[in-house]
Amino acid sequence: MSPEQTETFNGAWHELILAVRNRKHPFRIGVVANSSVLGPEARTVVLRYADRDERILRFHTDIRSQKFESIQNGTRLAWVFQSPQLKLQIRASGPCTIETDTLEVDQAWTETQLLSRRCYLATTAPGSFVEHPTGGFPEYLTDREPTEEESELGRDNFCLVNTYVDTFDVYSLAFTGHTRCTYQFDETWQASWVVP
Ligand SMILES: Cc1cc2nc3c(=O)[nH]c(=O)nc-3n(C[C@H](O)[C@H](O)[C@H](O)COP(=O)(O)O)c2cc1C
């Protein structure tokens, strides 16, 4: 990689890492897509962990959600982030792993706020058809967060999905001409400028 390609790469990962800790960061919310037998699927998720050296992007989800019909260990996932403020689009893809019972899952669960844990208390699986609009969790939780004890029921439904990024693409908007650099991991990162 040239120094400029390295700088572009590190700068993009830096923003992703900032987004994990900053709820207001434009990359805090990304889109994750996969292909399934029924065609492409995409959904918005919260970026929960990003590590440049480990090449990981992570989101949290409910193991009962519909995406698990088509995502398994090894399934390729594609992420997209974009920010008008930063004038930046990042695309990243690679195979995923699903973690349900590691120490990291326990730690992530411990750090999950009670109100966010409420989503994992849905009594029927996310994606189930229902008669009326509902959050899915027990009615007594409609206007409050669960207590720590109540929330623990959700732990069994909680998992981490890690993408091991092997393709990374940074698109920068500029009046003088947009630029695009694409990166491929094969033991080391290789980079190439691309006409945007
Ligand atoms: C702002 C926002 C953030 C979201 N974050 C997550 C998330 O972190 N994990 C998740 O599973 N779903 C999240 N969702 C819901 C998903 O977009 C999606 O509707 C749900 O996971 C069902 O997707 P599936 O049918 O592909 O399983 C979020 C939705 C919005 C609008």
* Widest Cα–Cα separation across the chain: 58
Yes or no: is domain 3-113+158-194 CATH 1.10.3720.10?
Answer: no
pLDDT, tens digit (0-9, with 9 covering 90-100), for 113-141: 999 999 999 999 999 999 988 888 888 89
Is-contact 145 155, C-beta < 8 A?
no
Domain boundaries, the chain: 3-113+158-194
Q: How far is the CA of 67 from the centre of ligand 1 (A)?
A: 10
| Cα–Cα distance for residue pair 53/38, rounded to 1 Å | 34
Length of the chain: 196
Which of 36-50, 98-112, 125-139, 181-195 shows the lowest mean pLDDT across its residues?
125-139
| Residues ≥6 apart with Cβ < 8 Å to 65 | 125, 126, 127
So what's the pLDDT on residue 147? 93
Ligand 1: which residue has its CA nearest to atom 30?
44
Residues with Cβ within 8 Å of residue 26, at least 6 apart in sequence: 19, 81, 82, 83, 84, 85, 86
Residue nearest to atom 25 of ligand 1 (CA): 66
**Using CA atoms, how far apart are residues 119 and 151, in angstroms rounded to an integer?**
9
Ligand 1 closest atom vs CA 66:
27
Ligand 1 closest atom vs CA 44: 17
pLDDT at 69: 87
Closest Cα to atom 12 of ligand 1? 45
163 burial (CB, 10 Å; 0-12 / 13-18 / 19+) is buried
User: For a pocket test of ligand 1, which of 46, 70, 109 has the largest count of ligand atoms closer than 8 A to its C-beta?
Assistant: 46
Q: What is the pLDDT of residues 24-70, one digit of tens each?
A: 999 999 999 999 999 999 999 999 999 999 999 999 999 999 998 89
What's the pLDDT at 138? 87
Ligand 1 centroid to residue 63 C-alpha, Å: 12
Residue among 135, 96, 102 at smallest CA distance from 116: 135
Q: How far is the CA of 119 from the centre of ligand 1 (A)?
A: 11
Global pTM exceeds 0.85: yes
Mean of per-residue pLDDT scores for the chain: 96
Give the distance (Å) from ligand 1 centre to CA of residue 176. Answer: 36
